[in-house]
Amino acid sequence: MSALEIIVIFVAGIGAGTINAVVGSGTLITFPTLVAFGYPPVIATMSNAVGQIPGGISASFGYRNELKGQGPRIRQLMPASLLGAITGAWLLLHLPPTVFEVIVPILLVFALVLVVTQPLIQKTVRRRKEAKGLDLAIMTRRQTVLLIVATFLIGVYGGYFTAAQGVLFVGAAGAMLPDSLQRVNGLKNVLTLAVNVVAAAAYVIVAHDRIQWAAAGLIAAGTLIGGFLGSTFGRRLPAPALRVIIVVLGCVAIWRLLA
């Protein structure tokens, strides 16, 4: 591995960790970087998943204030994320890499629409609850089931191809949860970390010889730093600014995937 490759992969890891903490599409920096240096796509995906874990830890720690009081919600959604991650990791090891090429951009467009329309959706849900005399802070049974199913499906996607799973979760959960965008973002960091841990563990157990450990280590060091940076600055952003950043980076993610 050349000095240039070491520097570029490490810097890409910092950028990915920063973006993941704020939005959740940082893999679209590290994955193309690895492919550009000649790593096959599946090997790049597995190595990248291993390297993303420290960034998820630092980002979750950085959002610890936004996570206060969300313990029951995390316990409710975590099994869906873990089961989805296991399913997605299995799919990566058994299906051709081109399977999600068509569906992924469509999912991202749908997620961005949800992010943009989140205030309107939450306002509509609030009005319906008020009309029925329901507690605004409590999710209905239907909302809970939909969120658990969405979390599972996003976990499958994350276990298969980690890029932009955070955008999908913020879009889906932000539209259903009676909570602020920053608290949803904190929840996203914890659940995507769980998905990455499960997927990485599956890759290590089943295909440890196919992981490029040097590259994974560089990404890990970079994302650890980036997670702290992203959580430090991202938490200070007002909801409209955070929403704009999510949409812009989501559009970049779609462009990169299509390209």
Q: What is the pLDDT of residue 5?
A: 92
pLDDT band with cut points at 50, 70 and 90 for residue 8: very high
Mean residue pLDDT of the chain comes to 82
The Cα–Cα gap between 153 and 70 comes to 21
Distance set, CA 10 to CA 31, 154, 155, 218 (Å): 12, 27, 26, 5
pLDDT at 137 over 70: no
**Long-range pairs of 120-123 with CB within 8 A, sequence gap ≥ 24:** 121/175, 122/175, 122/178
pLDDT band with cut points at 50, 70 and 90 for residue 225: very high
Distance set, CA 106 to CA 53, 85, 86, 87, 191 (Å): 27, 20, 23, 21, 22
The Cα–Cα gap between 238 and 225 comes to 23
Least confident of 2-16, 24-38, 45-59: 24-38
pLDDT at 103 over 80: no
248 near 36, Cβ under 8 Å?
no
pLDDT at 165 over 60: yes
- What digits encode the pLDDT tens for the residues 140-156? 788 889 999 999 999 99
- What the block records as the tokens of 2 is 């050349």
Residues 6+ apart with CB under 8 A from 125: 143, 176, 178
At 88 the three-state DSSP class reads: helix
At 252 the three-state DSSP class reads: helix
The Cα–Cα gap between 125 and 129 comes to 6
The Cα–Cα gap between 242 and 234 comes to 8
Task: For tokens 């490029």, name the residue.
Answer: 212
pLDDT band with cut points at 50, 70 and 90 for residue 157: confident
Q: What is the pLDDT of residue 117?
A: 72
> What average pLDDT does this structure show over 6-11?
94
> What average pLDDT does this structure show over 218-240?
87
> What average pLDDT does this structure show over 117-140?
65
The Cα–Cα gap between 132 and 158 comes to 37
99 near 91, Cβ under 8 Å?
yes
Q: What is the pLDDT of residue 53?
A: 93
pLDDT at 66 over 70: yes
Least confident of 4-18, 70-84, 122-136, 213-227: 122-136
The pTM score is: 0.80
Least confident of 75-79, 191-195, 254-258: 254-258
Q: What is the pLDDT of residue 256?
A: 67
Q: What is the pLDDT of residue 178?
A: 79
The Cα–Cα gap between 38 and 77 comes to 37
Q: Which residue has the higher pLDDT, 115 or 144?
A: 144
How far does CA 225 lie from the centroid of its chain? 17
User: Cβ–Cβ contacts within 10 Å for residue 248, how many?
Assistant: 12
User: For the chain, give me the number of helices (H) and strands (E)?
Assistant: 11, 0
